[in-house]
Amino acid sequence: MTALPRRVVGGYAAGSVGTGGFGVLPGLVLAYYLTDTLGVAALIASIVVVIPKAIDVVINPVIGAISDRAAAATGTRTRLMRLGAFALVPAFILTFSTPQSFGPAAAAAWVLLFFTLSAVAYACFQVPYVALPTELTPDYNERTRLISVRIAVLALTILVIGAGAPAVRDALGGGAVGYAVMAVASVALIATGMTVATSFAATRARPVTGADATDLHHRDAFTAFTTNTHYRILLTVYVLQALASAVMLAGAQYVATYVLEDKGALTIVFVALVAPALLVMPLWVRVGVRQGKRAGLLAASVLFGVAALGLSGAVAAPGPWMFALVAIAGVGYAGMQTFPLAMLPDVIDEVSQDRGRDQGGALSGLWTAGETLGLALGPGVYLLVLAATGFVSSSGDETAQQTDLARTGISLGFSLLPALLVAVSVAVLLRYERKTTQ
């Protein structure tokens, strides 16, 4: 099979500037924005961050079916992608522009409304975008290469936005102005990546074969989930691992502030988690080619889980040693991102062949719905841990004092909980047969 041209790989990977930016920033700062700037109680904040993504679970399969119909009728999935990129900009800025006169209840309602609109706009881009690799190449190893470059761009984006956006916020003194400027700068980069990928997709679009637009329905994804073992297992593993990484991501700011007692340590934690992906991605590609994608995913998951478990030692002795374990977790995180997305096109082909028509959009819709729910539940679950261990919220520039129990909750929520979630995902992955990951 001929290798994909670099411009094709690069054009597709540009979309990860959008998915990486939107995926990381709310998970990193939204919970903290609610509890430590707007004064929203941790329990209420957990509800606010989960509801918008729960809505996506319902609408993403519908968006996927609409994308399949558009591809079958016109040969392009770009209309929804362009709509999502355009609509995300104002909704995202407004999410972090809560009027200063609002009390905690009104502030929570404001964030809930505009974060929901942001999530819907993002889904309009993400669902068709995830479906594209199946149409770009049928080659097993080329899909791994395509996704590996995308994940490298994703890691770089996460590094830039995850470290840079809080730095912009802090440089302006935090608070309302800091968060608003952070949102404007971040969403400009996010929307640019989405626009580039949309333009690329328009030039690469091809009609979906074997399908009539009227035959495609959002229920196709749920049918595949119940009848196709590979899709069911792979999606379950991906959601569990998205949840694990989102829990760790949500806890990073709290660990920096209350465990390491240095808000600026967030940048170091973030760089330690994400930067290794830029270095080890070629290694994971080789593992996938030589040992298979399933074996690569197992190795990456175990590495991440062991490192996360080791971080639970912060309960007794927090310190700079944590950065080394976070970096090891980052190596595993890179593989956990690469292999499921490289395996998904293989599964889409399998389901499409079984059903006699393209199912890329529908299956990608449910896939992104699951990922979105996992990423949303991460901050929500972490906030529940904080609420259960007596975390005290703050408002404005105030930083509340926390009890020993609250600090223990902050540490274990960041370490032990992700390790347990990944352990469950490994148990599920072991049931995935090797025949599609030869």
Q: Which two tokens stand for residue 57?
A: 């679970």
Distance CA 190, CA 308 (A): 29
Is the pLDDT at 417 greater than 90? The verdict is: yes
The structure's pTM equals 0.71
User: Across residues 365-375, what is the average pLDDT?
Assistant: 78
Q: What is the pLDDT of residue 68?
A: 76
The sign of the CA dihedral 419, 421, 425, 427 is positive
Distance CA 343, CA 363 (A): 13
The more confident residue out of 324 and 67 is 324
Is the pLDDT at 357 greater than 70? The verdict is: no
Of the options 1.10.287.130, 1.20.1250.20, 1.10.486.10, 3.40.50.2300, the CATH number for the domain spanning 11-204+217-436: 1.20.1250.20
Q: List beta partners, residue 395.
A: 38
Q: What is the pLDDT of residues 114-160, one digit of tens each?
A: 999 998 999 899 888 887 777 777 776 777 777 778 878 887 887 78
Distance CA 217, CA 349 (A): 17
Is the pLDDT at 207 greater than 60? The verdict is: no
Closest CA to 414 of 273, 275, 296, 281: 273
Instruction: Show Cβ contacts of residue 281 under 8 Å, excluding neighbours closer than 6 positions.
Output: 148, 151, 152, 155, 334, 338
**DSSP single-letter state for residue 38:** B
Instruction: Show Cβ contacts of residue 113 under 8 Å, excluding neighbours closer than 6 positions.
Output: none
H helix runs in 172-292, sequence order: 175-204, 219-227, 229-254, 265-291
Do 243 and 377 contact (CB within 8 A), yes or no? Answer: yes
Q: What is the pLDDT of residues 220-272, one digit of tens each?
A: 667 777 788 898 999 999 999 999 988 988 888 888 888 888 777 777 887 88
